[in-house]
Amino acid sequence: MQKIIDISPEIHPEVAVWPGDLAFSRSVALDMKSGDNLTLSSINTTVHLGAHADAPNHYQRDEVGISGVSLEAYIGHCQVVHVQLPRGERIKPEHLSGRKIEAPRVLFATQSFPDPDNFNEDFNSLSPELIKWLAEQGVCLVGLDTPSVDPFSSKALESHQELHRTGMRNLEGLVLSHVEEGFYFLSALPLKLKDVDASPVRAVLVQDVN
């Protein structure tokens, strides 16, 4: 038997977005509750919403948008790793406490962005050294339960740039508080949005259970 674990936050008007970015909103054109024959609506929002995948053109000029990114990285075997370090710090290889990376996709649970509806700036992020080290272990995708792989105050986006240098893909905004360390099958496919700098994903883990 298999168990599906949802690791995406619920999307609604109060879900937190990066300060200054466009919050989620929904407009209803037709509504069965008002007597229409069907319900029809549209949404307006940042594409860096909830659980999402960045495209290379988010952090590199003249790079491809999310529709031009190969899908292989976003689906397959992954490893969830729990880390504990002071708020605001970047995760470094030494924070893994000797744990081996044994899957091509790694998701870090930091618990430093505990409420998807309330933005806190002191979340944990990734160090460029960690991304380089993960790439050397054969990792093709890294994800975490915070809004960014870089700190809130970073303008140079060193970890994003290291993602580009190594060709690694990333997921941000995951919810991992209910997920134990271990190995899973990840599915987090982005939408095929032409030239767009990111895409929301419905990220899930599949676990074999006896």
Distances (CA, A) of 146 to 41, 62, 170, 193: 29, 27, 12, 23
CA distance 107 to 144: 5
CA distance 159 to 130: 9
Name the catalytic one among 12, 48, 52, 58: 58
Phi and psi angles of residue 86, each rounded to the nearest 5 degrees, phi first: -55, 150
Phi and psi angles of residue 21, each rounded to the nearest 5 degrees, phi first: -80, 170
Phi and psi angles of residue 164, each rounded to the nearest 5 degrees, phi first: -65, -45
Residue 116 tokens, joined: 């998807």
Place of tokens 């970073």: 154
Residue 184: half-sphere exposure toward Cβ, Cα within 13 Å: 26
* Annotated catalytic residue 52: no
Phi and psi angles of residue 89, each rounded to the nearest 5 degrees, phi first: -85, 155
Place of tokens 């990285």: 73
Catalogue the active-site residues.
58
